[in-house]
Amino acid sequence: MPVYDLDHVTLGVSHLYEGAERLRRTTGLRSVEGGWLTEMPTAHRVVPLPGGAYINVESVIARPADLPPPVRLFAGWFEGVTATGDHWMTWNLRARSRADLEEVARRLGGDVVVARGANRPDGTHATTIMAPGNAATTWARGLPNFYFHEDAPDHPARARVEHEPPVTEVAWLEIGAREDELVEHIGVETFGALPLRLVDGPAGLHALGLRTAVGTEIVVRADSAAPALADLARQVAV
């Protein structure tokens, strides 16, 4: 089975710019503009990390009156969750080839989803390519979706930033998960390659540890939104 790399983790905040600045102030991690989505009323700041990974700082930025009911429900849910504090929304892996992403879709019974990604301030936009594409079977269970980036050189995660101090590697991810369920989802090879720390507690990401050039660790810790997202998925399914 292919090995998949860490792609990004999403930190939901109540105010995009205040949340990104608070992250910089408390950890030294700087961010760049990530853009905004057309289908979802959210926008992003991107914290580039070694190995092409990144932290996706995200918040709701608008509530247009003509939002489709499921999107309106999601936006309200997002605002409600983040009103109580920052939450880890998702963690995600990256395929090394389109064929590896198609293998995910076959294995997990989903599809390779190709959709318009973030709109950028320079007038361009990203293209999102992911699998298996069903948040109810991935993020709501605290498990990752898988991405493939054709526009990798232009991705904000490749931007040059000066973290304080510089970050040299992703040291560990603390995940609430059953080992057998996680191995079945990501594969034994990827499970062995990623610096995962499994803990008891709610499903999903709990903390991210980053090693710095001065030998210290930066730890970003927040509650997991996966249990609340599972509740939302059940509402939508009814």
> pTM value?
0.96
CB 198 within 8 A of CB 177: yes
pLDDT band at 134 (very low <50, low <70, confident <90, very high): confident
pLDDT in tens, 143-164: 999 999 986 677 899 999 999 9
pLDDT above 90: residue 233: no
Take residue 179 and report the two structure tokens written for it.
């080992």
Task: Please give the domain boundaries of the chain with CATH numbers for all domains.
Answer: 5-237 (3.10.180.10)
pLDDT above 80: residue 24: yes
C-alpha to C-alpha distances, 77 to 34, 44, 84, 201, nearest whole angstrom? 22, 17, 12, 22
pLDDT above 90: residue 135: no
Longest Cα separation, the chain: 52
pLDDT above 70: residue 238: no
Q: What pLDDT does residue 150 have?
A: 82
Q: What pLDDT does residue 235 have?
A: 78
Query: What's the rounded Cα separation, in Å, for the pair 98 and 104?
Result: 10
Residue 214 has a CB neighbour count (10 Å cut-off) of 8
CB 219 within 8 A of CB 172: no
What integer best gives the mean pLDDT of the chain? 94
Query: What's the rounded Cα separation, in Å, for the pair 62 and 92?
Result: 25
Query: What's the rounded Cα separation, in Å, for the pair 74 and 135?
Result: 12
pLDDT band at 101 (very low <50, low <70, confident <90, very high): very high
Say what percent of the chain tops pLDDT 90.
82
